[in-house]
Structure 1
Amino acid sequence: MAEPATYAVAPQETRATDRVVTVILLIGLAVLAPVAGFMGLLTAMASDSCGSGTECNDGLVATGVFTSATSPIIVALAALVWVVVRWRRGRATWWVPLVAVVVAAGTWWIGALITFGAVGS
């Protein structure tokens, strides 16, 4: 019986433009993530109307604010790690920061919706 063929996976050569675009997008992500985190903290102002006769779920408000404030930064750090891994393997990395922006915006909105849903519930 013949032995199965094995193939050595050599790192692929990436283009310089891929690396330049990735670094520029990561810089943009590094600027946007803390700004989005700060904006997530501002979603706590949705609970300003909680004292005037409306029922609010304080735990859910805190969960939503925490999600909105931390998720962009966590997603940005995960994207940085994933870029480094793909870069070391010689893979294309330009798309990772773009996906991270979309995921960070989505998780930010989920946290904001949790916060706004907890007010008046």
Structure 2
Amino acid sequence: MSTPYPPPAPWAPAPAVARRPTRTADVVVTSLLIAAHVTVFGAAAFFSLFYAMASDPCGSGTVCDTGKIGQAFFLTDAVGLVVMLAASTAAVLLMLRRRIAFWVPLVGIAAQVGLVALSFGLLGQVVP
């Protein structure tokens, strides 16, 4: 039994691998959302400079837990930076693999807002 087609020549190019189409709208929206996430992180880091004002009522007999201020700084700045970098890296990797990626910066922004809310909760516990 023989096949009706001859075998391909060894110098013939390999057949093209089917790739997913590039989703231009997803790339644009994801890029804008990554920029928005960087902006949200920058605003949170800027406003964290004012966390020290939570200790204003301390002194003159008022005992305060100022360690909570350091924890609030850590949550907003260090953990927020890790969340931003992880979300941006994951979104870029998904875009390179031509997968839907716009949701990753949205989750990162929500996590950033959650971290700021947690840090405000810590700041509320500084003064009893």
Give the TM interval when normalised to the shorter protein.
Answer: 0.7 to 0.9
Q: Secondary structure at the match of 1:97?
A: helix
Q: In the alignment, which residue of structure 2 is the partner of 1:15?
A: 23
Q: In the alignment, which residue of structure 1 is the partner of 2:10?
A: none
Normalising to structure 1: TM-score of the pair?
0.80
Structure that is richer in helix per residue: 1
Residue number among 42, 63, 66 corresponding to 2:71 in the alignment: 63
Question: Quick one: distance in 2 between partners of 1:52 and 1:71?
Answer: 34
Question: Quick one: distance in 2 between partners of 1:91 and 1:27?
Answer: 19
- Please state how far the C-alpha of 1:58 moved relative to its aligned partner: 2.1
Q: Secondary structure at the match of 1:54?
A: coil
Query: What aligned pairs does 1:1-121 form with structure 2 within 5 A after superposition?
Result: 12-120=20-128
Normalising to structure 2: TM-score of the pair?
0.76
Question: Quick one: distance in 2 between partners of 1:51 and 1:26?
Answer: 42
- Asked if 1 retains the 8 angstrom alpha-carbon contact of 2:87 and 2:105, the reply is yes
What letter corresponds to residue 60 of structure 1 in structure 2? K
What letter corresponds to residue 89 of structure 2 in structure 1? V
- Asked if 1 retains the 8 angstrom alpha-carbon contact of 2:23 and 2:98, the reply is no
1:64-89 deviation line (CA, Å, top 9, x unaligned): 22212333322211111111221222
- Asked if 2 retains the 8 angstrom alpha-carbon contact of 1:14 and 1:92, the reply is no
Q: Secondary structure at the match of 1:67?
A: helix
**How large is the RMSD of aligned CA atoms in angstroms?**
1.8
Unaligned runs of 5+ in 2: 1-17
Question: Quick one: distance in 1 between partners of 2:45 and 2:102?
Answer: 23
Greater C-alpha Rg:
2
Question: Quick one: distance in 2 between partners of 1:47 and 1:11?
Answer: 57
